Amino acid sequence: MKPLSLVILGASGDLTKRLLMPSLFRLHQLGLISKLNIIGYSCDQWNDNDFIEHVHDALSEFVLDFDDEKWISFSKCLSFISGSLDVKDLATLSKKIDGSALFYLALPPTLFAKAAVKIGEAGLSIESSSYWRRILIEKPFGTDLDSAQFLHSQIHSYWNESQVYRIDHFLGKEATLNLMIFRFANRVLAPIWCSEHIEQVQITYAETLGVENRSVYYDHAGAMRDMLQNHLMQLLTLTAIEPLGHWDSEILRDHKVEILKSIRLVNDTNVDTWAARGQYTAGKINDKDTISYRDEIGIPANSNTETFAALRIDIDNWRWRGVPFYLRSGKRLARNYAEIAIQFKGPSEALPDDISVDNNWLVFRLLPNLQIDMQVTAKLPGMKLNTHNIELTAPYTHAGEYEVSAYEQLILDALKGEKSNFLRFDEVEWAWRVIEPIIKSWRHGEPDLYQAGTEGPNSQNKIMQKNHSWRSINYGNQ
């Protein structure tokens, strides 16, 4: 059997250092990629030893249980080629590759199209009956619909869609993978997973971090592009998806696209009814003073980029008609907190008038802990017929259990050819069709300001339907 190769373009970059190499090291230690040739490629004037030393330093910093004994066998899988994105330089990779190969573009998004084309021009995308070639691209997939379609056309000049793996690391997270298993493996949920029983769905991803070292990228992207168009839209499709006739990656992605196509599109005349945006000002988080977005290094003093975005979505199909899906994400908020929360409608049976009953919530928590919560009403102990809310909690993992990172899962899937957790282009395209009218409208006006360390701008409440309100991101942390 010919050896399997992983070529990382951008091998000296931050993504490779912080995420890819630690994930590959763990997979190697588990015996899952022990025969994988890992080839670093970048314009740095390094040799094999320089690259190996660079990787050693990265693993020492980012792998908690790293030790040199485990490192020895992994280091033997590493090699390096110095080169640019010119065809002549890329063609030298053929000396290292003898069989199937995965090309990972750990590059700035502006180089995705060029890299995909140049790899193809170098003849490295050509497959045979005895080996395959694949290309893996990180998000963002364009900055709007036109740029996404252009990137798609450039990639497809040398690569078939079957060879393209678009990575959204949220799809490799344990909580995301468990969402579909929990829903479809438990028959008790099947009859109530529809508008007859569900009142609303809220998907929140809150961060205490600011833009950190991503100012150049972030100020051109903003929260809507950075989080809602991809990560949160994927969580929405997996929450709303129809049951699959049988498990197949193409059928799964067909069903996700059906959801995206069923979303009621917003137009310029009613954006404020459906979407809200904000930008953080100076404040205090965890008792530490923080500066405003416009005072961050690399951010223009007059920037109107949103650091918070919220969106209400209506899905016009039989299952979800009338159920609002609320999505929001923001930086410099009060807490690192993420959840998918499904609220059920109130009980139909009559209870005494003085009995207080809150609607049930089923909550899939992503941060700060991976767990499932069911918030229900029960009798309060005592002589009187009083009630109280209780929470049934099930953690995903227990102490001592190995937790697979999203990148470990997705790298292994790409090497195996499993595409369920990767995006097909029509998913990308239809997500842009949903978001683009809002982005165009936001070219005018300014985001609402919110103080760092709070739950975001007050304008987010205006998109909520009557009797709905946002769940606090401080829930369970009071």
Is the pLDDT at 160 greater than 60? The verdict is yes
Partners of residue 198 on adjacent β-strands: 344
Binding residues: 10-17, 139, 169, 173, 207, 226, 331
> What pLDDT was estimated at residue 17?
92
Determine whether 388 is an active site residue. Answer: no
Most confident of 128-142, 316-330, 340-354: 316-330
Alpha-carbon 82 to chain mean position:
31
* Sheet with strand 308-314: strands edge to edge: 387-395, 371-379, 361-367, 337-344, 198-206, 324-330, 308-314, 275-281, 448-451
Task: Tell me the mean pLDDT in the region 58-68.
Answer: 85
**3-state per-residue secondary structure call for the chain:** CCCEEEEEECCCCHHHHHHHHHHHHHHHHCCCCCCEEEEEEECCCCCHHHHHHHHHHHHHHHCCCCCHHHHHHHHCCEEEEECCCCHHHHHHHHHCCCCCEEEEECCCHHHHHHHHHHHHHCCCCCCCCCCCEEEEEECCCCCCHHHHHHHHHHHCCCCCHHHEEEECHHHHCHHHHHHHHHHHHCHHHHHHCCCCCEEEEEEEEECCCCCCCCHHHHHHHHHHHHHHHHHHHHHHHHHHCCCCCCCCHHHHHHHHHHHHHCECCCCCCCHHHHEEEEEEECEEECCEEECCHHHCCCCCCCCCCCCEEEEEEEECCCCCCCCEEEEEEECCECCCEEEEEEEECCCCCCCCCCCCCCCCEEEEEEECCCEEEEEEEEECCCCCCCEEEEEEEEECCCCCCCCCCHHHHHHHHHHHCCCCCEECHHHHHHHHHHHHHHHHHCCCCCCEEEECCECCCHHHHHHCCCCCCCCCCCCCCC
Task: Tell me the mean pLDDT in the region 366-371.
Answer: 86
Nearest-angstrom CA–CA distance, 58 and 5? 21
Q: Which residue has the higher pLDDT, 477 or 315?
A: 315
Only one residue has tokens 């015996």, namely: 31
pLDDT digits (tens, 9 = 90+) for 224-243: 999 999 999 999 999 999 98
Task: Tell me the mean pLDDT in the region 345-366.
Answer: 77
Q: Would you place residue 356 in the very low, low, confident or very high pLDDT band (cuts 50, 70, 90)?
A: low
Is the pLDDT at 68 greater than 90? The verdict is no
Nearest-angstrom CA–CA distance, 310 and 204? 9
Of 51, 57, 19, 53, residue with least CA distance to 38: 51
Which residue of the set 28, 54, 231, 246 is catalytic? Answer: 231
Nearest-angstrom CA–CA distance, 100 and 133? 6
Is the pLDDT at 248 greater than 80? The verdict is yes
Q: Which residue has the higher pLDDT, 325 or 396?
A: 325
> What pLDDT was estimated at residue 452?
96
Task: Tell me the mean pLDDT in the region 240-268.
Answer: 89
Q: Which residue has the higher pLDDT, 421 or 400?
A: 421
- Residue 461: phi and psi, rounded to 5, are -75, -20
Is the pLDDT at 59 greater than 70? The verdict is yes
By the 8 A CB rule, do 366 and 173 touch?
yes
181-190, 196-205, 219-228: the lowest-pLDDT one: 181-190
Of 87, 53, 83, residue with least CA distance to 71: 53
Is the pLDDT at 70 greater than 60? The verdict is yes
> What pLDDT was estimated at residue 89?
95
Is the pLDDT at 2 greater than 70? The verdict is no
> What pLDDT was estimated at residue 400?
58
Is the pLDDT at 478 greater than 60? The verdict is no
> What pLDDT was estimated at residue 353?
64
> What pLDDT was estimated at residue 1?
58
pLDDT digits (tens, 9 = 90+) for 390-419: 888 888 766 656 667 888 999 999 999 999
Binding residues for substrate: 169, 173, 207, 226, 331
Q: Which residue has the higher pLDDT, 255 or 378?
A: 255
Task: Tell me the mean pLDDT in the region 9-14.
Answer: 93
Task: Tell me the mean pLDDT in the region 341-350.
Answer: 82
Instruction: Catalogue all structural domains in the chain, each as residue range(s) with its CATH number.
Output: 2-165 (3.40.50.720), 172-400+424-459 (3.30.360.10)
Binding residues for NADP(+): 10-17, 139
